[in-house]
Each structure stands twice: as C-alpha cells, then as structure tokens.
Amino acid sequence: MFERFGDDGRNAVVWAQEEARGLGHRRIGTVHLLLALMDAQDGPAARALREHGASAPDLRTAAQAAPVPTRRPRAGRAFRLFGDHIPFSTGAKKALKLSLREAVGLGHRRIGGAHILLGVLRADGGAARALEQAGVDTGALGSTAERLARASDRPR
C-alpha cells in the first residue's frame, strides 16, 4: 500500500513513527498521524488543521494523555516501514486504509496528507477525540480537508 503514497503522505507516516518514538509510545496511533500532519506546515492537512484552530502544542498534550494500544500484533499482521519500526495501532491502520479509499474515491493516483487527514477523521479514534477536546469542529475540518484533497492531485 505504501507505494501509493505521495511525498507528503509518505513523510506523514514516517513522521508519525518519530512522534510515537519521541513520546515513548510503542504503537503509532491516529493522534501521531495527526501530529505528523501538523508538522508538515505547508501541506494541505496542516493548513486545514490551522484554519480550524488546531495547534501542535494542544495536540501533543492530548497525544501524551491518549491511551495508545500496546498489544503486540499477531505475527505477519504488522504494517512495516523501514528498519527499526514501531507498529501501527488498529485505529491508525484503519485510518490509512480509509485514506487510500478517499484517494481512490477522488480518482487520485497518490495518497497525500489531506487524504490521511480524512482517513484519521473517518476512523473516529483518539485523534478525533483530541481535536474535539481542543475545540475543533471535526465536521467542518473534514469538509475543508475534502476540499483540499480534491485540489491536491490530478485525477487519473
């Protein structure tokens, strides 16, 4: 699946791993994906998040408080990246699968940050709760992310 990711989508996945590692978490959750999207300051997902009042410090605080599953995945079931990896939580896997669905639904060749943001919002995990706790209207954010995703790639 990762061959379908564009540069900003791939960077978000790698940065999410770094976010999890930096917070001492053993699994990459949806909140780590969200933090990684915020880190790509010029990306469409970061623009949408800022437009709706999300801030990296608030999200990082929520990430530190969010329970991230630490259960080990069954053999052969982990999403793997490069070398020393941290596995994805079930919610993050679902968000990434939904991001693929979003990209395909829009007729896009590559999964970008806006698609990942849509996947994170649709997965309804810890990231959506963190956004809501920070006062972000996730419905309005989803509409903005969808608009930016439509403009982010040329259809096939």
For the entire predicted model, the pTM comes to: 0.84
The answer to whether 119 and 97 are in contact (CB under 8 A) is: yes
The pLDDT, as a whole number, for residue 122 is 92
3-state helix, strand, coil in the chain (%, to 5): 60, 5, 35
Helices H / strands E in the chain, number of each: 8, 0
CA nearest to 54, candidates 146, 152, 149, 127: 127
How many Å separate Cα 34 from the centre of its chain?
Answer: 5
The pLDDT, as a whole number, for residue 117 is 95
**Tokens in use for 45?**
């997902």
The pLDDT, as a whole number, for residue 153 is 63
Could you say which residues of the chain have pLDDT below 70?
Answer: 1, 63, 66-84, 153-156
Identity of the amino acid at 81 = L
Q: DSSP label at 67?
A: -
Q: What is the pLDDT of residues 36-52, one digit of tens each?
A: 998 877 888 989 999 99
